[in-house]
C-alpha cells in the first residue's frame, strides 16, 4: 500500500466485509479530506475515538432541528422556555432508561466524566475512604485528593483485581464509609474490567462503587441494575455527542446530603435575608441541587439523542461489528514483529475498540506524526492521561513524571510513551485496513518525510 495511492471515498457507503456485521453509523466529518505531506489528499481516518468520538449524524441533525427553539430552562413562561425545559427533563429520563437506573436514582448533568467524578468526590461523607487502582484514567485517579485514598497496584488478571480489592477493603481501618472507583473499559488497553464482581466485593465489605463508563458506554450496553453499581459517570463527547455535557447517575443520598457542587441559581429553592443581615438558603434535594447556573440544554439533548440512536441501532450488531474491527487491527499488528501491543489481562481478554502499542526503533510521537502526515490517519500518542498505567505497561517506573501527550525524545529515539488507535460505531473497514497497511509499510520502509520536534510535538519538517 502506498501513501500516494489512497483515494477519497464515501466512507458512509463502506460496509463491513463481514456480512454478519452492520454498516458503520453515519458520523459527522466522514467525508472530510486532508492533505498528505507527500502530495494529494485522502479521506481522513479518524481513529482517536477514545479521546473524542465524532458526532453521530443523527445527533447533529437532532441538535440542528432543536436549535431554533432554544430557550432558557426552568426559568421562563414563554413557549420556547417551556419546550426547552421539557426537552431537558425528558433527556434526563432518556439517559436513566439508557443506563437502566433504579427508580430512585438521580441523573445529574455535568460537563464531563471528570466533572462528574469531582462532583461525587465533593459529596463524600466524612471519613470516607476511597479505593482506586493505579490503572485508572486521571479523571478517576485524581479527584479524591481531599479523602483518604488507597491506590491499588495494577492487577494482571480480572480475578486478581477482585482479590486485591477484597483484601484492601477487609483491612481498612476504621471500618467506615468507603467508595471504590473503577473503569469499565481501559482507555489504554481497551480491556473490560470485572465490574459486576468488583461491585459485589465492594458491597460485601460495606463499600459503594462508582463506575467510570467513559470508554464503556459508547461500545457496550450498560445497566446500573445488572452491574449493581452505585453510581456511573460518562461523557457526551465520547458517546458521539461532543457538545460539552456529561452525566453522573446513581444513588441520591450522598448527593442530597452534600453541599451543592456549585452555589447559585437553579440549585437554590428559596433564598431569604435574615434579620442579622445574612442569607438563608434552602437547596433543592433533586438533581438540580448540583446543576447550578443555566444548563447546557443542547449538550444534554445531544447525549439523549445519542442514547436513543445507539439503542435503536442495537448494541448486538454494534458489538459484533466492533469485534470484527478489533480482530482486523490485532491480527494485522500481530504480523509485525516490531510491534508490541500493551495489555494487562492478556490477548484473550474481552475488550472494546481501544488498542495501544509501541514500535521497536520508533519514537511513538514520530510514528503517530507519520501516520497523520503521510496516510491521513489520526491516532493518539503519549501517556493518555493514565501515566501510572502506561509506565507500568512499558516496564518503566510508574512514578516517573511526564507531560500528557508530549514526546520525550527526538524522532528515532526511544520514548516512554505509546501509540493508541481507537474506533467505534462510525468507523468503516477501510480506515482500520488503511491503518494496518500503514503500520506495516512504515515499519518496513520507514517514513517518506523528515520530521522535527516543535512545541513538544513531532511534525513534518517543511523547511
| Residue-level pLDDT at 214 | 98
pLDDT tens digits for 23-63? 999 999 999 999 999 999 999 999 999 999 999 999 999 99
Annotated active-site residue 458? The verdict is: no
Percent above pLDDT 70 for the chain:
91
Residue 249 burial (CB count, 10 A): 27
pLDDT tens digits for 340-356? 999 999 999 999 999 99
Query: DSSP readout, 81-146?
Result: HHHHHHHHHHHHHHHHHHTT--TT-EEEEESSHHHHHHHHHHTPPTT-EEEEETTS-HHHHSTTTT
Rg (CA), the chain: 23
Point out the least confidently predicted range of 82-91, 324-333, 370-379, 398-407: 398-407
Q: For all residues of the chain together, what is the average pLDDT?
A: 91
Q: Is the pLDDT of residue 100 over 60?
A: yes
Spot the catalytic one: 101, 181, 307, 385: 385
Residue 85 phi/psi, 5-degree rounding, is -65, -45
Amino acid at each position: 500500500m502506498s501513501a500516494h495511492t489512497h483515494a477519497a471515498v464515501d466512507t458512509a457507503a463502506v460496509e463491513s466485509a463481514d456480512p454478519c456485521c452492520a454498516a458503520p453509523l453515519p458520523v459527522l466529518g466522514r467525508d472530510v479530506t486532508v492533505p498528505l505531506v507527500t502530495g494529494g489528499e485522502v479521506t481522513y481516518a479518524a481513529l482517536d475515538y477514545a479521546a473524542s468520538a465524532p458526532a453521530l449524524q443523527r445527533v447533529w441533525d437532532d441538535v440542528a432541528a432543536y436549535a431554533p427553539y432554544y430557550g432558557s430552562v426552568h426559568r421562563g413562561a414563554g413557549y420556547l422556555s417551556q419546550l426547552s425545559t421539557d426537552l431537558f427533563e425528558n433527556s434526563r429520563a432518556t439517559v436513566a432508561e439508557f443506563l437502566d437506573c433504579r427508580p430512585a436514582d438521580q441523573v445529574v448533568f455535568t460537563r464531563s466524566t471528570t466533572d462528574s467524578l469531582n462532583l461525587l468526590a465533593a459529596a463524600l461523607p466524612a471519613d470516607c475512604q476511597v479505593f482506586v487502582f493505579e490503572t485508572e484514567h486521571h479523571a478517576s485517579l485524581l479527584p479524591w485528593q481531599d479523602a483518604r485514598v488507597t491506590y491499588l497496584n495494577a492487577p494482571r488478571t480480572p480475578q486478581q483485581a477482585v482479590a486485591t480489592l477484597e483484601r484492601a477493603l477487609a483491612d481498612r481501618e476504621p471500618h467506615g464509609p468507603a467508595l471504590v472507583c473503577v473503569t469499565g473499559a481501559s482507555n489504554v488497553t481497551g480491556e473490560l474490567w470485572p465490574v459486576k464482581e468488583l461491585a459485589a466485593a465492594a458491597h460485601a465489605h460495606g463499600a459503594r462503587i462508582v463506575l467510570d463508563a467513559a470508554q464503556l458506554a459508547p461500545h457496550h450496553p450498560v445497566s446500573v441494575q445488572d452491574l449493581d453499581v452505585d453510581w456511573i459517570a460518562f461523557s457526551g463527547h465520547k458517546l458521539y455527542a461532543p457538545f460539552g455535557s456529561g452525566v453522573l447517575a446513581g444513588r441520591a443520598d450522598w448527593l442530597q446530603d452534600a453541599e451543592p457542587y456549585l452555589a447559585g441559581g437553579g440549585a437554590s429553592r428559596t433564598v431569604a435575608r435574615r434579620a442579622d443581615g445574612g442569607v438563608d438558603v434552602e437547596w433543592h434535594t433533586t438533581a438540580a441541587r448540583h446543576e447550578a447556573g443555566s444548563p447546557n440544554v443542547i449538550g444534554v439533548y445531544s447525549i439523549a439523542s445519542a442514547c436513543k440512536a445507539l439503542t435503536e441501532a442495537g448494541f448486538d450488531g454494534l458489538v459484533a461489528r466492533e469485534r470484527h474491527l478489533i480482530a482486523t487491527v490485532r491480527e494485522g499488528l500481530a504480523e509485525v514483529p516490531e510491534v508490541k501491543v500493551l495489555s494487562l489481562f492478556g490477548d484473550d481478554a474481552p475488550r472494546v475498540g481501544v488498542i495501544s502499542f509501541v514500535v521497536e526503533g520508533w519514537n511513538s510521537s514520530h510514528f503517530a506524526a507519520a501516520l497523520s502526515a503521510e496516510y491521513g490517519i489520526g491516532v493518539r500518542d503519549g501517556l493518555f492521561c493514565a501515566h501510572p498505567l502506561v509506565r507500568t505497561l512499558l516496564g518503566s517506573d510508574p512514578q516517573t513524571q511526564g507531560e500528557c501527550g508530549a514526546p520525550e525524545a527526538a524522532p528515532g529515539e526511544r520514548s516512554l510513551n505509546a501509540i493508541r488507535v481507537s474506533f467505534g460505531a462510525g468507523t468503516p473497514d477501510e480506515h482500520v485496513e488503511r491503518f494496518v497497511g500503514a503500520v506495516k509499510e512504515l515499519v518496513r520502509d520507514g517514513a517518506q518525510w523528515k520530521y522535527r520536534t516543535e512545541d513538544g510535538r513531532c511534525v513534518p519538517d517543511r523547511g
